[in-house]
Amino acid sequence: MPELAELAGAELANIVPRDRHNISRQDISPSALKVLYRLESAGFASFLVGGSVRDLLLGKSPKDFDIATDASPDELKRLFRNSRIIGRRFKIVHIRFGREVIEVTTFRAHHEVSNEIGDHIPRRQIKGLDSAHSSDGLILRDNVYGSIDQDALRRDFTVNALYYTTNGFKVLDFSSGMEDLAAKQIRMIGDPATRYREDPVRMLRAIRFAAKLDFSIEASTAAPIEELGELLLSISPARLFDETLKLFSTGYSVKTFALLQESGLGQYVIAPTLEALPLCPKPAAKLVHLALENTDNRIAADKSVTPYFLFAALLWPVLRLRQEQAQLDPSQMRSSLLSMANAAIAEQLDFTAIPKRISYASREIWELQWKLEHRNRRNVRSTINHPRFRAAYDFLLLREAAGEDLNASGQWWTDFQFSDTNQQEEFLGNLPTQRRRRRKRGGQRKSQSGINSRNRGSRA
Ligand code: ATP
Ligand code: MG
């Protein structure tokens, strides 16, 4: 087992001894402890790092445990049979214990940004290089191994760069992490503008952590965001989708939403929603707020949140606004729903990817709204057996809570679900056998798109 003093770079840390911090092994997942111990006994240095150390120091329970080590990915692979090397951007090793995955990364070094290699090579054409920057400073590949102090300084925020070792139970702080934790602030390591240029997603991360931890964003860390926000347009829609989901899964999504609006960053991830909110029918705007509150409550109660519900809610104002602008009469609402729903989703796709299975399910929630409102003897059973019924019913309740008058449909479905078979038959008997068709005479008005969709490169 190497001593800290033997680990290159460790001498640069401010070391917080066991009696000066509150981290206890009892709060660490047994799987993570196993990995730490096994690495130590094989002669490697290993540390808990990132969000887990930060959250433990704050007395919160971490959502996952990441480990940093001086063992290489191949050495890790040999040491842990239950491991797998993954990662396109970085090589990361996942060690699986049942349903839990411990993420282990080898200490990495930071790169100089004015790097000759990257200056002449267009993005996405770099093969076989281990480290490269594009001409605008964006990190493309990042697999240069380094010492622990270098590993610390390439992390984003000071509170995310604290290392905990079971070898002496110390916390190592290479920046001002402990101080910033105490001051409850998110502070970028190094020059904020440079670090945002390297990876613009760090701007969204600043907001996510500020909301989640109820921290402020330190002034010099916040300052460049307004000007550099548009760099997010260079980030792949797939990565922005992941990040957007994380933004709304912190358990503090109401606050995240407000920060996205305040900082101006919202226009790079949820622009269609933000543009529709002031123009759409009031209950649709209210629904977004209620859905976020609902999401936060669910996370507080340790329940899952489904991405398709989130997107159904976020894009509801967009859909509603489109419907309103198309001036449809009620009989046209249903036939045009599919194309309107697709259009609303397409607007979001200009900003973030949405995997098909998710956008499909969001659309199903919207489509089921019609059936939930327009019940007849035939469609009730198929509606209630639909795999998306539960989500659609929750959505219906939110719409009513947001002030839509849906003829007490929510109550009807609540009563129906909690009735026995005989009572249900009675409910069904009171319904019309068929949908009543009301057709207005006159031509269908052309749909007008009201929202300017923001063009993104080739998908304009
Ligand atoms: P969470 O509780 O949301 O998981 P986290 O801090 O663990 O928060 P992760 O996204 O899991 O965040 O990343 C783990 C760690 O990796 C971070 O704490 C940070 O040190 C580092 N890191 C992650 N993303 C970046 C980035 N874009 N730039 C620099 N460092 C990063
Ligand atoms: Mg994490």
- Which domains are assigned to the chain? 7-109+145-183 (3.30.460.10), 270-433 (1.10.3090.10)
Confidence of residue 388 (pLDDT cuts 50, 70, 90): very high
Please compute the mean of the pLDDT values over residues 228-242 and round it to a whole number: 97
Please compute the mean of the pLDDT values over residues 271-279 and round it to a whole number: 98
β-bridge pairing 46-49 and 66-69: antiparallel
Give every CB contact of residue 299 below 8 A, 6+ residues apart in sequence.
249, 250, 251, 305
pLDDT score at 329: 79
Confidence of residue 144 (pLDDT cuts 50, 70, 90): confident
CA–CA distance, 150 with 111 (Å, rounded to integer): 10
pLDDT exceeds cutoff 90 at 441: no
Which ligand has the shortest distance to the CA of 49? 1
Query: Which pTM value belongs to this model?
Result: 0.87
Q: Which residue has the higher pLDDT, 457 or 171?
A: 171
Q: What percentage of the chain carries pLDDT values higher than 90?
A: 80
Q: Is 156 a residue of the active site?
A: yes
Q: What percentage of the chain carries pLDDT values higher than 70?
A: 86
Q: Tell me: the pLDDT tens digits for 293-338?
A: 999 999 999 998 899 999 999 999 999 999 999 988 777 778 899 9
Mutate to test the pocket of ligand 1, among 91, 149, 155 (most ligand atoms within 8 A of CB): 155
Q: Is 142 a residue of the active site?
A: no
Ligand 1 atom with least separation from CA of 55: 2
Lowest mean pLDDT among 218-222, 378-382, 391-395: 378-382
- Ligand 1 within 6 A of CB of 251: no
Q: How far is the CA of 20 from the centre of ligand 1 (A)?
A: 24
pLDDT score at 5: 82
Q: Of all protein residues, whose CA lies closest to atom 6 belonging to ligand 1?
A: 51
Q: Tell me: the pLDDT tens digits for 418-429?
A: 999 999 999 999
pLDDT score at 67: 98
Q: Is 66 a residue of the active site?
A: yes
pLDDT score at 117: 31
pLDDT exceeds cutoff 60 at 112: no
Lowest mean pLDDT among 1-10, 40-49, 245-254, 378-387: 1-10
- Ligand 1 within 6 A of CB of 175: no
Which ligand has the shortest distance to the CA of 155? 1
CA–CA distance, 90 with 272 (Å, rounded to integer): 32
Quick check: 82 and 96 in contact, CB under 8 A? yes
Ligand 1 atom with least separation from CA of 250: 3
Please compute the mean of the pLDDT values over residues 338-366 and round it to a whole number: 97
Q: Tell me: the pLDDT tens digits for 402-413?
A: 999 999 999 999
Q: How far is the CA of 307 from the centre of ligand 1 (A)?
A: 21
pLDDT score at 135: 55
Confidence of residue 21 (pLDDT cuts 50, 70, 90): very high
pLDDT score at 448: 40
Q: Tell me: the pLDDT tens digits for 33-51?
A: 999 999 999 999 999 999 9
